[in-house]
Structure 1
């Protein structure tokens, strides 16, 4: 443990709280229980006064695992499928950029967000990447995390109410396993190389370098067919629990006023993102003759795993849905650092043009 790590006691208590939340959420058959459960349990504990913390080394390791897990979705089949829907992917890109641009403006004007926090908060999805960027950029972590978390929770918790309206039953607690697990002979070298690349990117001060290193190397291996298979459940499940726990730790020190303000902003942003996604999905369904249900699930700014489960259960096109959510993650991975750099440059120009303080 380094000098910057938190004490072992609070860290273990935080992890135990997250694990208990995951177990309870799985028992209750909640969607995405290994993220939502820890996020809820640690958030509640943090608001009640728990010093919710995670060791930096443990957190960084989970970022690498999460990156490799995200990159494993980039298969040759996914790329072949994406080529068949170029117009749909263009509309998805426009809708995501619209949500980011106009959503960030709403947050700045109506809720007083600083430009960088507004940009990261308005990003629809890729929560682990946004959290990594928020940490590296010293953005307003409590507000970014609360609104991102409330947005994800709202989308996921709406599913049990919408599914019966669509004539389907309740969703399963977990998405089905779509690929065999990687063997240790493949997984261990991949994680080692991904971690090395991530550390290099991190030392070069690349935002979210650990996550990008894992995702980039894994995506390259899966897209070229050099590597195949998913991250085993015995490793991916703890990583998801840690990520959900990390979401909850962002609520440490949050005041009731901050929470109420974030809930208002989250409601507005979630409603705006849902409206833009609905319009974009309806346009694509009309232009390409696709089922509206498939388009809605593909354009919904929710988690990849949950959207895959929804597509299978509701008899939507899982290839179409998966392709669009993987594309959205990849597009945000490229676009968000560029938008961050642009925002930084604009803030620097504004600071240079500002008149000096009197006296």
Structure 2
């Protein structure tokens, strides 16, 4: 379907998401424009509504988000980088642990074949894992549903936990700037363009996000650009990301995928339990806070978790750095598994 043909679907997706966000906002629930939009979009998807988000739209949002996340870095972050070495090392070890737990669960309870279970167990992005898994011969439908349920469940559970258990609330900004100035827009467009070019040439993983993020982080860390993202832009990104994620369930009925979804949600909660335990232990032996570690180690999506950190004021640079490391490790590890599995399947 063309970009023009997808426009009405995307408009309906945003409308359903907005209505869900409005309900959450009215009820005073946390992150209404992320969690509420996600919930509204999921309900619409499973109800058979023609919702969806085209790939070009998702990529544009990823570019903007990459520039924004890079803006969470500053000269102070460089000075603190040495403090994060213990938790960064622990994050790699934790990645192996959570992947083992998840793939065992997929084999045992979701009854997946070995290849599908391994790719379902990696806490990477839905798009990357689905594409890599399909190339390796995995069951794409089960793989996509499992990852979508994982990210959606984690995205719903963690902010609720942080709000009602730890007492955190979305940050209040004393001076609300609705949008960027014309000069800021020019600089950020240059950052986005340069990041896209660098990411594509250097073949970065998910380069639409990581390329602009890297250039933006360098520019902000050097002190050449300062300032937090405007309130309106943050809300629009939460609305779009939450709605687009919920639209991943489009084309399925609750009856078709009910069992897989229930078991996948249980798996996500199991992974979250491991995350809470590891985060609690690390908070005792490092200077990192329990709340920051939860978001940094969470098996949710890169973009969703870092945006949640940005919205709740939980050291977004710390969270982004740890998720970036996890993404790089997964991208280097997955091809190794992929090559070995393809060879085994051919023999």
CA deviation after TM superposition for structure 1 residue 49, in Å: 0.8
Could you tell me which residue of structure 1 aligns to residue 125 of structure 2?
Answer: 130
Residue 242 of structure 2 corresponds to residue 248 of structure 1: no
What residue in structure 2 maps to residue 40 of structure 1? 39
**Contact 1:201 1:210 (C-alpha < 8 Å) held by counterparts:** yes
Contact 1:34 1:241 in 2 (8 A): yes
Indicate the larger mover: 57-66 or 260-269.
260-269
Is the contact between residue 39 and residue 245 of structure 1 (CA under 8 Å) also seen in structure 2?
Answer: yes
Question: SS of the counterpart of 1:235?
Answer: helix
1:351 and 1:108 map into 2 onto residues whose CA distance is: 18
1:351 aligns to 2:345 (yes or no):
yes
Aligned to 2:109: 110
Other-structure match for 1:225: 223
Once the two structures are TM-superposed, the CA of residue 131 in structure 1 deviates from its matched residue by 3.5
Shift of 1:296: 5.7
- Structure 1: distance between partners of 2:95 and 2:209: 21
Cα distance change, pair 158–273 in 1 and its aligned pair in 2 (3 A) = closer
Residues 227 and 120 (structure 1), Cα distance of their counterparts in 2 relative to 1, 3 Å cut: farther
> TM-score when scaled to structure 1?
0.77
Q: CA deviation at 1:65?
A: 0.8
Aligned length: 332
**Unaligned ranges ≥5, structure 1:** 313-317, 354-359
* Aligned counterparts of 2:54 and 2:60: Cα–Cα separation in 1: 10
RMSD of aligned alpha carbons: 3.4
Query: Which residue in the other structure is 1:146 paired with?
Result: 149
SS at 1:53 equivalent: coil
- CA pair 192-114 structure 1, distance change in 2 beyond 3 A: farther
- 279-288 or 216-225: bigger deviation: 279-288
Question: Residue 161 of structure 2 is aligned with which of 140, 158, 161?
Answer: 158
Find the partner of 1:337 among 327, 331, 335: 331
Q: What SS class does the counterpart of residue 111 from structure 1 fall into?
A: coil
CA 1:233–1:301 in 2, change beyond 3 Å: closer, same or farther?
same
Which aligned pairs between 1:290-301 and structure 2 lie closer than 5 A?
Answer: 299=297
Distance 1:158 1:347 in 2: 38
* Larger mean Cα displacement after TM superposition, 334-343 or 44-53: 334-343
In the alignment, structure 2 segments of 5+ residues that lack a partner are: 135-139
Q: 1:16: which partner in 2?
A: 15
- 1:256-302 CA distance string (max 9 Å, x none): 24233222222133223422x33433433443477767766765556
Secondary structure, aligned partner of 1:6: helix
1:127-276 alignment, distance < 5 Å = 130-134=125-129, 136-137=131-132, 139=140, 140-163=143-166, 168=167, 171-172=168-169, 174-177=170-173, 183-195=181-193, 197-198=195-196, 201=199, 207-255=205-253, 256-275=255-274
